[in-house]
Structure 1
Amino acid sequence: MGDSTIKAAEQDSVFLGHPRGLAYLAFTEMWERFSFYGMQSLLVLYMTQELFLPGHIEHVAGMGWYRSLLEGAYGPLSPLALAGQTFGLYAGLVYFTPLIGGWIADRWLGAKRTVIIGVLLMTAGHAAMALDQSFLIALMLLIMGSGALKGNIASQVGQLYSKDDDRPARGFVIFSTAINIGAIGGPLACGLLAQIYGWHVGFSTAGLLMLVALGVYLKGLPHLPEEPHLTRTAAVSVKLTTADWRSVGILMIFLVFQVLLGPGYDQQFNMGMVWIDAAVDLQTPFGPVPVAWFVSINSFGTVLGAFAAIGFWRWQAKRGREQSDNNKMVFGGLMYGAGTMLLAIGSAVQGPGSVNIVFPVLSYFITGVAFTWSWPTWLAIMARYAPRQIAARMMAAAYLVVFFGSIIAGYFSRFYETMDPALFWALNAVACWFGAALYFVFGPMLTRALDRDMAHEPDFALRKQPA
């Protein structure tokens, strides 16, 4: 940012004490996530209950070669295993393609134009979900659109602040909270409409909401960070120092820790939906609860957890005792494991179809709270330590956590049919605790190494604020 932009950012605090541009970025993501999670909450159930069954799967364009490709790698797949693998690949690639989107933005188009293209691609993808025949095309459009949008819109949040501004970490919490407000509403609306009127009405609703996201972003463009003139020559000339490369390497180690922190969380959106549908008694005096609503419970936990975490961290900061990033990650991992273990306990103490609804409600709520402690902290770490020359690409790399987590969850979902559910969920919980242990043991040492590499920057002492 130029000097005038930096000065404006320092003085701009009209949105909850943050720059006005944060409001537009947050609400754009809120509506985009409303749409995204509304569709995603239906996806596994749609595949297992209709699309991948005889009489439907034959109509999906490209399904023959797609299934042959998967079965060539994993062996024969039942409809349930095929759905789990497909969901894992989709959810993973949605968060891998931001690397490509960040590269395009840094080199040629800039973040603003790339985000607009992303929203349009995602809108087309949701529209294609209205037909069985275009199912794989729809997933491809959604994957490409998310790649153009995710990292680039998050990088603009970080660029709203100057280097010596101490607000970015809390700005990312506000940004993540807006995301999860959308993630609450999307499954509630799309899940209910799908249950009453059919799958494709739910999917079409998600598509309409993408247009709302586009309108909000376009209106907010004047309040977003200025972008430098991009040329291919200038982009190629970017050089990283030895310290920069060392910081990138350490951040990639943290990325591995982060993947191991949340396998139970990733699996809840995959086989968790299948488990709830088969094992939980969903009947209430007001009628059956749509399975898609449990995604909203998870997001509701994140929103409440965000308000509680912000208040708690501020209370600690005033006393000079705010937790370190590593301790926040450890606590988040412990909660991920505890929430996942509740599904194992419910499976162990009650039979299929009779598990009390309290078990998944508490499980999804607790893992939602855990997300508040781990994910915004991870984004803040990446924003703080990533070399500025490749900021958009490194922020996109932060989302590789979800890519690897979803791919791993998709792979292990194939064992769900052959494994006792209690053991399946218990193993996922133990994996979360293992990730927390890695942060506890190695995190402080790696953070000190990052601090040493950044110590030459005169503003780092001001910028290095706990998340």
Structure 2
Amino acid sequence: MTIAEATPDFEADHSDRAFLGHPKGLGYLAFVEGCERFSYYSMQTLLVLYMVNYLLLPEHAAGVVGLETLRGWYGGIDGQPFASKIFGDYTSLVYLTPILGGLIADRWLGRRTTLILGGLVMAVGHFLMAFEGAFLFALLALIVGVGLFKGNIASQVGELYGPNDLRRAMAFQIFYIAINVSVIAAPLISGTLGEKVGWHWGFATAGVVMVLGLILYIMAGPWLPPDNRPSKNADAKPAEPMTRQDWLRISAVLTLVPVLAVALLTNQEIFNAYLVWADQHFQLSFFGTTLPTSWMITIDAAASFSMLAAVAAFYVWYGKRHREPDELGKMIIGSVFTIAGGLCLVFAAATQGDGKIGLFWPVMFHLLNSIGFAHILPVSLALFTKLAPARFNATIIGIYYLAFFAANYIVGTVGGWYSSMPTTSFWLFHVGTATVGLVAFILFKLFLAKRLMGGAPDER
């Protein structure tokens, strides 16, 4: 008996409003994703600081299996540029592998089995971080685990709703709020343990939370959409051929991926060179106590959480009085705020002088960038789930994460420029990339949106 057969009573209808007016399954999926994102952002928050301040020091680096080989592949770079490159490759690859995870789920194992395997492999990766020599093997396990997990949970959120259910976009807002609660908690718990007690304590905490998330997911089975494991019956109905509209939707997805990647660069740099800059130049000492640098991620996550809630509430209010912007309209608005946030970092670098940088401009950056985040990330994910042909749902969500793969891969290279490039110019470059994203979204909306997305269901 397949998992799908074990939950025959599930229906995606308007009557299930047990969780904040949404299906009960959304609550479970949001909490499970929160656990997975806690573990991931614990790793992402600590990784660059761990490498720069500990692992890549000569007395520790010598014991890491394969590190010298990797250094040779990167051209012999060392120090902060080496750490940024490792970080960029790691954080890009975790967003490349969801395509494979989606294919495995859609064609062979089904979403649930694939997701559970991914969570187990991720937990192993976090626990391997306790052993310095296994550092690269731990990163590999995390890359594979996220790939099996990531797209297969987001696609289930979309399937909780019918094609014309107006709650879908708000569901992804709630989904992202759960993520941001985890991003707030990860630096406070894992980041503080890692920086103040011991690096391995932070990584182990991430592994424990991942295991708890898996247990919760298994318990949630009766309230989740049926699994998509392919039938093995000999008389199974053959898949219907792809229609012209299906191909148009896939074209829209493929067109949006590189545009979204460029628009994400400033946000993704927060976990790379931005943390190194903050560690070296921000005024983080108050009343004789120096705050962990990783708490800057908590500031960012708190701002993101607040702005996600505020933006969602604003559009509920606005929609009762005016016509609400469509998805691309919101992404255009978000790009404007991202540009404004990047300019705050330019001002901070330009006005630093000989002292430390106060937190006014960084906090303004996080606030404005978070408004941009609230307009781009949940909206774009909801848009992709709407565009995805039903039988390629998980695969299309995997393709969505190609934008993060590209953004993080570029950040891995660009982050290395921080050590050799004037800081003002470094952040101006990021403002420029956000501007490119803005222009591309405008052009897409003006000239391509109607042709490529005309057949997608209208959810408004």
Structure-1 residue corresponding to 2:13:
9
Distance in 2, matches of 1:108 and 1:352, equals 60
Could you tell me which of 44, 50, 53 is aligned with 1:46?
50
Distance 1:353 1:185, change over 3 A: farther
Structure-2 residue corresponding to 1:309:
311
Distance in 1, matches of 2:257 and 2:251, equals 10
Structure 1 residue 115, shift from structure 2 partner: 0.9
Distance 1:148 1:89, change over 3 A: same
Q: Kindly report which structure 2 residues correspond to 1:259-278, keeping only aligned pairs within 5 A, or say none.
A: 259-278=261-280
Distance in 2, matches of 1:420 and 1:152, equals 41
Structure 1 residue 145, shift from structure 2 partner: 0.6
Task: Write the letter of the residue equivalent to 2:380.
Answer: W
Distance 1:52 1:229, change over 3 A: closer
Q: Which runs of 5+ in 1 are unaligned?
A: 455-459
Task: Write the letter of the residue equivalent to 1:182.
Answer: S
The range that moved more, 163-172 or 402-411, is 163-172
Q: Kindly report which structure 2 residues correspond to 1:64-103, keeping only aligned pairs within 5 A, or say none.
A: 64-71=68-75, 76-103=76-103
- Deviation track 1:218-267 (CA, whole Å, cap 9, x = no partner) reads 11111101124514897995632233222211221112211121211111
Q: Kindly report which structure 2 residues correspond to 1:385-404, keeping only aligned pairs within 5 A, or say none.
A: 385-404=387-406
Distance in 2, matches of 1:142 and 1:352, equals 41
Distance 1:7 1:143, change over 3 A: closer
Structure-1 residue corresponding to 2:41:
37
- Give the secondary-structure state (helix, strand or coil) at the position aligned to 2:59: coil
Distance in 1, matches of 2:122 and 2:251, equals 32
User: Aligned pair 1:189/2:193, yes or no?
Assistant: no
Distance in 2, matches of 1:34 and 1:178, equals 10
- Deviation track 1:59-118 (CA, whole Å, cap 9, x = no partner) reads 1111122222222xxxx3122111111100111111111101000000111111111111
Structure-1 residue corresponding to 2:459:
465
Distance in 1, matches of 2:238 and 2:306, equals 44
Structure 1 residue 10, shift from structure 2 partner: 2.4
Structure 1 residue 370, shift from structure 2 partner: 1.7
Structure 1 residue 361, shift from structure 2 partner: 2.4
- Deviation track 1:283-307 (CA, whole Å, cap 9, x = no partner) reads 1126112111111111111111111
Distance in 2, matches of 1:351 and 1:235, equals 70
TM-score (norm 1): 0.93
Structure-2 residue corresponding to 1:347:
349
Structure-2 residue corresponding to 1:334:
336
Distance in 2, matches of 1:309 and 1:402, equals 23
- Give the secondary-structure state (helix, strand or coil) at the position aligned to 2:349: helix
- Give the secondary-structure state (helix, strand or coil) at the position aligned to 1:113: helix
Distance in 2, matches of 1:224 and 1:257, equals 32
RMSD (Å), alpha carbons: 2.1
Structure 1 residue 423, shift from structure 2 partner: 0.8
- Give the secondary-structure state (helix, strand or coil) at the position aligned to 1:9: coil
Could you tell me which of 360, 383, 399 is aligned with 2:385?
383
Structure 1 residue 433, shift from structure 2 partner: 1.7
The alignment covers a number of residue pairs equal to 454
Distance 1:229 1:208, change over 3 A: closer
Structure-2 residue corresponding to 1:124:
124
User: Aligned pair 1:19/2:23, yes or no?
Assistant: yes
Structure 1 residue 359, shift from structure 2 partner: 2.2
Structure-1 residue corresponding to 2:252:
250
Distance in 1, matches of 2:34 and 2:378, equals 15
Task: Write the letter of the residue equivalent to 2:40.
Answer: F
Structure-2 residue corresponding to 1:57:
61
Distance in 2, matches of 1:124 and 1:134, equals 11
Task: Write the letter of the residue equivalent to 1:364.
Answer: H
Structure-2 residue corresponding to 1:420:
422
Distance in 2, matches of 1:386 and 1:54, equals 49
